[in-house]
Amino acid sequence: MPEQEKSLDEAELERARQFLRQRAEYYAVRRAEGFAAIEVIIMDMVALGHLESRPFDESSLAAAMEMPRTTIISYVRNLARIGWIQKRRRGRRSLLFIQETRMESFLRPTCRAFLTH
């Protein structure tokens, strides 16, 4: 018989509410910049890989997001065209990075939404 999950206590519920409010603020800023939700998630994943020195390629990003590779390629192509994502060749792979000149402006809403509360 499966083990029943423990109910969340008030402190856990409050942390969850705070996180969801912060995330909603963050996505509102990104939507105001003209990005679709999926583009924001892709950029978040690419930035995380970039900052952790473990960049994604399109295949690994598709696997991590559990999305078709062709969908990721299409969105990455568009984000590269408008100057947010850069592809860099490493051997046979094309790794994805946030454009260096855009990294600070990309991270600013994250810092405001998540680090100031």
Domain range list for the chain: 11-115
**pTM for this one?**
0.77
Mind listing the pLDDT tens digit for each residue in 54-90?
999 999 999 999 999 999 999 999 999 999 999 999 9
3-class SS of residue 19: helix
Mind listing the pLDDT tens digit for each residue in 2-57?
567 778 788 888 888 888 888 888 888 888 888 888 998 999 999 999 989 999 99
Amino acid at 104: E
According to CATH, the topology of domain 11-115 is Arc Repressor Mutant, subunit A (1.10.10)
For residue 1, the model assigns a pLDDT of 55
CB of 61 closer than 8 Å to CB of 96: yes
Contacts of 42 (CB under 8 A, 6+ apart): 61, 65, 72, 75, 76, 79, 85
